[in-house]
Amino acid sequence: MKLLLPESRAEALAMLARTPDAVPVAGGTDVLVHWPTRMAEHDRTYLDLSPLGDLKGVRWEAGELVLGGLATYWDVIRDPRAAQELSLLVHAARQVGSVQIQARGTWAGNIVNASPAADGVPALMAYDAVVVLESVRGRVEVPLADFYTGYKEMHRASDELVVAIRVPRRAYALQRFVKVGSRRAQAIAKVGLALTRSAAGWRVVAASVAPTIRRCPALERLLADGAPLRSPDDLLPAIDQDVTPIDDIRSTAAYRRQVMARVVFDALRAS
Amino acid sequence: MKISFTLNGAPTSLEVDPTERLLDTLRYRLALTGTKEGCGEGECGACTVYLDGLPVNSCLVPIYQVRGSTVQTVESLDPAGLRPLLTSGATQCGACTPGVSMTACWIRDHPELLATHTIRELLAGNLCRCTGYDGIVDGIGATLEAGA
């Protein structure tokens, strides 16, 4: 194993520019799962981000919440303003694994790990979060809703590091986060949903029903039009346009499609 | 590589292999075998230690990230503080007990968490296949009452 140990953000970016195949390690919770048996990965190069103090924690600005590139779920769970203003972030963070994972796992890691079943990403996307990337070439900002280009593919060049996530502060008329899993803790989503309504409009974000976490434009249009919904089935035509659920080890396509309709319907009815 | 950190209150420096997990270093280099390996994937919590004051799964912490940090293991707990867990029948086969004890004592030392969380939610990262959790939750409740 080759290990790069930068002491500053500038040094980290320079190392990443020289060694673009290096794997940046934030909290390590994805990299180390079943680590002793994943021998091939022991030969890779890793870049330890943990000493980069200026990427840690969260910061409230006038118009936005800035999550540092090393901000953890626990940082947000313990921030009382987050629960008041951007409650989906807290709801989502509390659904991640357990306290032991929440204490180490980072929002930026959740974004770049790019799991279609991520818990943090749907909440961020429903808030129009923006991913801030830096490299020796400069700084780029990409709306999270445009970040993914395919399964585990994204707008991040190999020399770029996620240094922050910007979450606009808005007044929300409605905020819902739902995760359907086998258990309430320590489970990965079969279906995930984050739903918001603000002056910027409706945001419906679905997890575990497509190759990436994604916004659902047909559902958003349906809700914006305000047509009365009599049953979850009324949502199915839009759902079929927006997502492509599959059968896998956690669930089936048919179950996910039905449950997504019910979860959206219930989230709206509860409002 | 050589790393230095504070372990159970004492400054510690030692040579490690960078592929080690904190769990490996504790058990196989420092002979602190109280910390157990269960699943090796961050589900079961048997390997729970405190890293800079927060409970973490030591199977998911690369040893190189421990540089300059503070680590506390189950060996640092005061056995007297675990008496409520014994009395409430919180332990049976014992495999989960070191991890459960770590999370239990962390909850006891941070009662402010109960303003937002239940004991069960805070304990969700420690799986026990014997007791059904009631004894564990009751034991933590008794500990909190004793401390209040």
Residues A87-121 have pLDDT tens digits of 999 999 999 999 999 999 999 999 999 999 899 99
Q: Tell me the residues of B at the A interface, defined by beta carbons under 8 Å apart.
A: 1, 18-19, 21, 40-43, 45, 48, 51, 54-57, 59-62, 64-65, 67-68, 103, 116, 121-122, 124-127
Q: Is the pLDDT of residue A185 over 80?
A: no
Task: Please give the mean pLDDT across all residues of chain B.
Answer: 95
- Is A156 an 8 Å CB contact of chain B? no
- pLDDT, tens digit (0-9, with 9 covering 90-100), for A192-204: 999 999 999 999 9
Contacts A31 to B, Cβ<8 Å: 62
pLDDT over threshold 90, residue A84:
yes
- Residue B111 confidence class, pLDDT cut points 50, 70, 90: very high
pTM, entire model: 0.95
Contact call for A99 and B60, based on CB within 8 A: no
Q: What is the DSSP letter of B48?
A: E
Of B55, B61, B127, the CB nearest to A28: B61
Nearest-CA distance from A188 to chain B in Å?
A: 11
When CB atoms are compared, the residue of A3, A35, A186 closest to B125 is A186
Share of chain A above pLDDT 70, in %: 100
The minimal CB distance from A100 to the residues B18, B56, B68 is found for B56
C-beta atoms of A34 and B103 within 8 A? no
Pairwise CB contact (< 8 Å): B62 & A46: yes
Residue B109, pLDDT score? 95
Predicted local distance difference test score (pLDDT) of residue A186: 72
- pLDDT, residue B148, reads 58
Q: How far apart are CA A119 and CA A109, in angstroms?
A: 12
The pLDDT assigned to A107 comes to 98
The pLDDT assigned to A246 comes to: 85
The 10s digit of each residue's pLDDT in B11-54 is 999 999 999 999 999 999 999 999 999 999 999 999 999 999 99
Average pLDDT of span B100-128? 96
